[in-house]
Amino acid sequence: MLTNANPRRLLLKNAEPTLEQDACPTCGTVVRKGNLRAHYEKVHPKRASSFSHDKPTAAQPRRARNHPRRKLLFYGLLGTCIILISTVAALVISENTVRMHIQPQLSVLIEGAPSTVPSGIGINQTLWRNHSLDRYGVAGRSPLTTRDTSGTIHVDANTDRNFTLQDFLGVWGETVDAYQVVGNQVPQGDSACIVVNEQTLPAINDVVLADNQKITVEIVKGSCSYLS
């Protein structure tokens, strides 16, 4: 039987396939690359229909072509995240940067007797009653604070804008008007007055705060006119 076999066919069946060849998974015959389908149809016609399931599909090159798209999507998302983080960081830095700093001085006199302006206004919760200006503050504080009992008002804001005496009094939770001065009722016949840099104003007036400004709010006997 072996003497009648085709030596070339035996050699092809037992040979190892090279890069330019394919081996038949059914009979082991080595054929040229690309001829495996024809071999199946000729030698194994019953299995030819399953040939496409045995060979790798063309999906691999397609997936390979999708890699650049995935990379573009990844880098696009990464770039967007970096931009968002940078924007948020810039906003945080901006909100905590002091762009306005002035120190007016406030004194309180009740019929000639000084009354202490407490430390911690705009810092301690018990002395921080109005929070409408908090967005202008820095480091979690109100933009209008006191840090000792000297009466110095520290205006530290992240925005350059006008702040008034009434703004400060609102943060403190006190009132200065024709009827009371910082919790002290104005007796009948007396007056509530505001003196700004030696200029006397009725208590109904508001005052825009300025650096090194001297402000006195007081109750006086009679009218405010004698202070001028």
* pTM of the full structure: 0.60
Q: Which CATH architecture has domain 100-227?
A: Beta Complex (2.170)
Residue 61 has pLDDT above 60, yes or no: no
Distance, in Å, from the CA atom of 189 to the CA atom of 132, rounded to the nearest integer, reads 35
Radius of gyration from C-alpha coordinates of the chain: 45
CA triple 225-226-228, angle to 5 deg: 75
Of 2-6, 27-31, 64-68, highest mean pLDDT = 27-31
Which residue do the tokens 């037992």 mark? 14
Distance, in Å, from the CA atom of 168 to the CA atom of 58, rounded to the nearest integer, reads 75
